[in-house]
Structure 1
Amino acid sequence: MSVNVSLLKKICEAAGVPGYESEVRNLIIQEVEPLVDSLEIDNMGNVITMKKGQSSEKKAMVGAHMDEIGFIVTHVDDKGFVRFTTLGGFDPKTLTAQRVVIHGKKDVLGVMGTKPIHVMTAEERTKMPKVKDFYIDLGMSKEQVDDIVSVGDPITRDRELVEMGECVNCKSIDNRVSVFILIETLRELQTVPYDVYGVFTVQEEVGIRGANVAAHTINPDFGFGLDTTIAYDLPGAQPHEKVTSLGEGTAIKIMDAMTICDYRMVDYMKKIADDNTIKWQPELLVAGGTDTAGIQRMGKNGSISGAVSIPTRHLHQVIEMAHKEDIENSIRLLKMCLEGLDTYDWSHK
């Protein structure tokens, strides 16, 4: 197995901030429709696919969110500079010197600007920037901007995917790498014991909203979240801070701030990985959450849930980095977990 980098590149570079996922959603539908037995789009905009199993007695749901962190226009001033607010979590210092795309009547390129260091006071130079300190410069007059841009237009970050060593690097690896993994898993799946619902969810970055609705609709017995996680294997990191490391295998989630994964699912996933010589590492994240929380809790009966996590450096920046071997191992683990669900004793013990 090798990573289809050209497909991953298309998925990562597509636009789709929370609530405005249409571009990436259309790309997903085009790729996944031939691979599944059914496909529908719910009122939230989730893409819900299903592959029939040998039995419909139980259901498994896999959730991968398609939205990316971004911005939305809040104001255009009398000189044509655009103010915005965030959609998702940002470290403000990562906005410095970045290009963005405002999706107005047409797509228009802009740059993030803030007060030049040359005119800052000594005190200002020592302070970290805040989101409110930034504006977007489109290089246009007020009249030109008004012809294209309106309050409420979504804004995405502009950065292409490149290969670096054995890694891929781009904006929106979180969580487009998981979208890619779910598509490739659906492509690879052969016979599955139970119906598998592959769900490409919306609005995760603003509160796992799409996954909540999809899980409520599907009411799965088994659940798998699919998302990136922190790889803090960087200079200055203490061993207990790393969470995961790049190239050390796919990660099996034990818990995060919103989910304690079912101990049965964790044991099952570890067994599948070991039995099939899939390189893996444990993930225990003390902050943050993923669609796993909604999948686990929002169905009528709850679900036996866990998560496949993809180690990623530089999260919520435009230079997110994942290792191609970790991506491959994530596909293998998810596929084999779905194919073997009827081989494990799921009783409480």
Structure 2
Amino acid sequence: MTSGQVRVLLKTVRLADPEVTVHYAATVQEEVGLRGAAALGVDIDPDLVVALDGTLEQSYPGVGPSDAITTLGNGVGIKRKDASVIPTPGVVERFEPVANARDTAFQREVSWNIGSDTAAIQNAGGARPVGALSIPVRYHHSAVETADVRDIEAAVGLLTVFVYTEDGADYASN
């Protein structure tokens, strides 16, 4: 996990006090086969998963606007699709009204060239309802990864309210 993701997770744990049981976890080995997430999905046996990840931000020379996935400072990414997963529509469709109600900046994330732990957890031990929030990161997987604090705070706000208002709805039927 990046320091931005850790910050989001820890602040959410501190701020949210939901009526349902919530397990917060960090995983390892995403880049070598989503191994940690696959094991976690079986061990916890969740009813709903919201993954938190970084995503590509590519507003630098040589990358056209149509190839950009997200933009620094435009808010947390709500994953619609990536190369490994299509999140559960009912979960994805709940994020936007929550964000709008809190005036939280977000951007729709659609990518074709990256994957995430969301896919491994979705399929661990059978199909699971999943959603994913992403922090836009420039120079991803390098020594100079760069995120915008506004995007990190947007992720905290959206995830906190989402978790706090979770009522155990059956997303599998959506």
- Shared fold (TM-score, shorter chain, > 0.5): yes
CA contact (8 A) 1:253 1:282 kept: yes
Query: In 2, Cα distance between the equivalents of 1:334 and 1:206?
Result: 27
- Structure 1 position 181 matched with structure 2 position 8: yes
Alignment counterpart, residue 303 of structure 1, candidates 107, 123, 128:
128
Q: Is the 8 A contact 2:137 2:145 kept in 1?
A: yes
Match of 2:57? 231
Q: CA deviation at 1:343?
A: 7.9
Find out whether 1:342 has 2:167 as its counterpart.
yes
Uncovered stretches (5+) of structure 2, i.e. residues with no partner: none
In the TM superposition, 1:285-296 aligns within 5 A as 285-296=111-122
8 Å CA contact retained: 2:129, 2:172: no
**Paired residue for 1:193, among 6, 10, 19?**
19
Indicate the larger mover: 275-284 or 200-209: 200-209
Q: Please say if residues 221 and 302 of structure 1, whose CA atoms lie closer than 8 Å, have aligned partners that are also in contact.
A: no
One-letter amino acid of the structure 2 residue matched with residue 241 of structure 1: D
| Offset at residue 274 of structure 1 (A) | 1.0
Is residue 325 of structure 1 aligned with residue 145 of structure 2? no
Question: Size of the alignment, in residue pairs?
Answer: 174
Structure 1 unaligned segments of length 5 or more: list them. Answer: 1-65, 67-174
Identity of aligned residues (%): 34
Contact 1:224/1:307 (<8 A) preserved: yes
Contact 1:246 1:311 (8 Å CA) reproduced: yes
Shift of 1:334: 0.7
Q: State the alpha-carbon separation in 1 of the partners of residues 6 and 33 from structure 2.
A: 18
Counterpart AA for 1:211: A
Corresponding position of 1:71 = none
How much does 1:339 deviate?
A: 1.3
Deviation (angstroms), 1:264: 0.8
Summarize the alignment of residues 156-175 of structure 1 with structure 2, pairs less than 5 Å apart.
175=2
- Superimposed CA distance per residue, residues 27-69 of structure 1 (whole angstroms, 9 cap, x where no aligned partner): xxxxxxxxxxxxxxxxxxxxxxxxxxxxxxxxxxxxxxx4xxx
TM-aligned CA distance change 1:347 to 1:211, over 3 Å: closer
**Alignment-derived partner of residue 269 in structure 1:** 95
- Cα RMSD of the aligned pairs, angstroms, is 1.7
1:316 to 112, 116, 141: 141
The one-letter amino acid paired with 1:258 is: S
Aligned partner of residue 235 in structure 1, secondary structure: coil
Query: What SS does the corresponding residue of 2:77 show, helix, strand or coil?
Result: strand
Matched to 1:323, the amino acid is: D
> Aligned equivalents of 1:220 and 1:277: distance in 2?
29
Q: Tell me the amino acid that sits aligned with residue 177 of structure 1.
A: G
Give the deviation of 1:251 after TM superposition. 0.6
Provide, for residues 217-254 of structure 1, a one-character-per-residue CA deviation record: whole Å limited to 9, x for no partner: 11111111111000112233222111000000011001
Give 2:29's match in structure 1, choosing from 185, 203, 206: 203
Which of 76, 81, 92 does residue 255 from structure 1 map onto?
81
Q: 1:347 to 1:256 in 2, by over 3 A?
A: closer
Bigger fraction of residues in helix: 2
CA distance in structure 2 between the aligned counterparts of 1:226 and 1:271, rounded to whole angstroms = 19
Name the structure, 1 or 2, with higher relative contact order (CA <8 Å, separation 6+). 2
Render the CA deviation track for 1:287-323: whole Å, top value 9, x for unaligned: 121111122110x343210101000101122111000
Letter in 2 for 1:188: L
- Select the structure of larger CA radius of gyration: 1
